[in-house]
Amino acid sequence: MHKVGAWVTVNDLMQHDYKYQIVAPQGKEFDGGFNPHFSPKEMLELGVFEGKYLNDCRYEFPADWFEKAKISDRPDPTLNYFNIKSRSSLKLWQKKGWIILPDPRGWFQWYCRYYQGRRYYDIDHKQINRWRSFNRHYMQVKYNCNSGDILCRPRQRQALLQWSYDPFV
């Protein structure tokens, strides 16, 4: 875990000499309208992104995030909590304009860095708004599925988990 005031230098397959400073305690001082249900560690343990995420940049994040993480060198839908294919290619995300720099891997990379304590107001504001807009999927599951029936709408539930919403509504 990086302490407040520390600088993190990133050198991985997608970023070279990218630096950011930790300005908030890990997992604390979130924007008032941002209340994710899971920490990045919990998400990785439950099974997200078919196990193909953060593979070459683990050193950037706390080692304990990966102790029980479901990680793979190749996408494996069986590693997802709901055992289904759940990810679009990075090329599609880039084409659609869903990647907001300085986080070339997308929303979850931003969330991991935000959770660690990095803050960039403009970027944070955009990503938090994207997270908030995902609430529509939460409401669809809530209104269309019986409580406790986690087999109802598994794709939406996996997507909820990958955006740190509670998929077990």
- Mean pLDDT per block of 10 residues along the chain (169 residues) reads 93 95 98 96 97 90 96 94 88 88 95 98 96 94 92 95 94
Total structural domains within the chain? 1
Residue 2 lies in a domain: no
Domain residue limits at 72? 7-162
Residue 38 lies in a domain: yes
Residue (of 53, 37, 12, 15) closest to 115 by Cα position: 37
Residue 141 lies in a domain: yes
Under DSSP, the state recorded for 20 is E
Residue 1 lies in a domain: no
Residue 52 lies in a domain: yes
Residue 114 lies in a domain: yes
**Burial code of 60-69, b = ≥16 C-beta within 10 A, e = fewer?**
bbbeebeeeb
Q: What is the pTM of this model?
A: 0.95
**CB burial of residue 154 (10 Å; 0-12, 13-18, 19+):** middle
Helix (H, G, I), strand (E, B), or coil: what is residue 60? helix
Residue 167 lies in a domain: no
Residue 11 lies in a domain: yes
